[in-house]
Amino acid sequence: MAVTTNDLKNGMTLELPEGLFSVVEFQHVKPGKGGAFVRTKLKNVRSGAVIERTFRADERVEQAIVDKREMQLLYRDGDDYVFMDSVSYDQIQVNRGLLGESASYLKDGDSAVLQVYGTDIVGVDLPAAVELSVAQTEPGIQGDRVSGARKPATLETGLVVQVPLFVNPGDRLKVDTRTGEYITRA
């Protein structure tokens, strides 16, 4: 579906010759001399790379309609993740590479919103924080709550985060999915 650059909105997805891009920000500029133009910051949906692009005002661009589907992770099958559509109950296999960093926050039974364009998975929307169990870390030291010292902990999905010294194996932690940082014990 073609739209003009005057119709751009934050979050809109565009199909450009370089690939699929999401509009991060845009600004209409009308200089005293010459024609008006639109300055944009675009994020590549697949790689996450951000580029800056300037378009003429009223230039036509192709809008990509990205379908967001609520899916539940059923299980892992080697490098593939098997999801079930929460509405139609269809199952799809998604390669770990397509999930990117999001795979580190998903465990069996979790729900996520998969962004689908055509037949391709182009992104994953996760909640702001997830709860994961500590699979491996040094034993906790009682009473050492000061100094802000941290130690690495490997979580059940393989994600490694820095945690306070009092965290033990088996503890459930809340982890921020945007930064990958420890928030609190759950």
The pLDDT of residue 132: 87
Are residues 74 and 88 both part of a single domain? yes
Are residues 118 and 72 both part of a single domain? yes
- For 66-108, the DSSP string reads PEEEEEEEEEEETTEEEEEETTT--EEEEEHHHHGGGGGG--T
Are residues 39 and 52 both part of a single domain? yes
pTM: 0.69
pLDDT of 119 higher than 80? no
Domain edge (last residue) among 39, 63, 87: 63
pLDDT digits (tens, 9 = 90+) for 48-99: 788 999 988 888 888 888 888 889 989 888 888 899 988 888 888 888 878 8
Residue 159's alpha-carbon distances to 61, 96, 113, 181, 185, in angstroms, are 39, 14, 20, 10, 16
Contact 85, 92 (CB under 8 A): yes
pLDDT digits (tens, 9 = 90+) for 6-53: 888 888 888 888 888 888 899 998 888 888 899 999 988 877 788 999
The pLDDT of residue 7: 84
Structurally, how many domains does the chain consist of?
3
Domain edge (last residue) among 63, 78, 97: 63
The pLDDT of residue 45: 81
pLDDT digits (tens, 9 = 90+) for 109-118: 888 888 888 7
pLDDT digits (tens, 9 = 90+) for 164-186: 888 888 889 999 888 888 888 88
Are residues 138 and 113 both part of a single domain? no
Are residues 136 and 90 both part of a single domain? no
Are residues 37 and 55 both part of a single domain? yes
Are residues 121 and 71 both part of a single domain? yes
Domain that holds residue 8: 2-63
pLDDT of 146 higher than 80? no
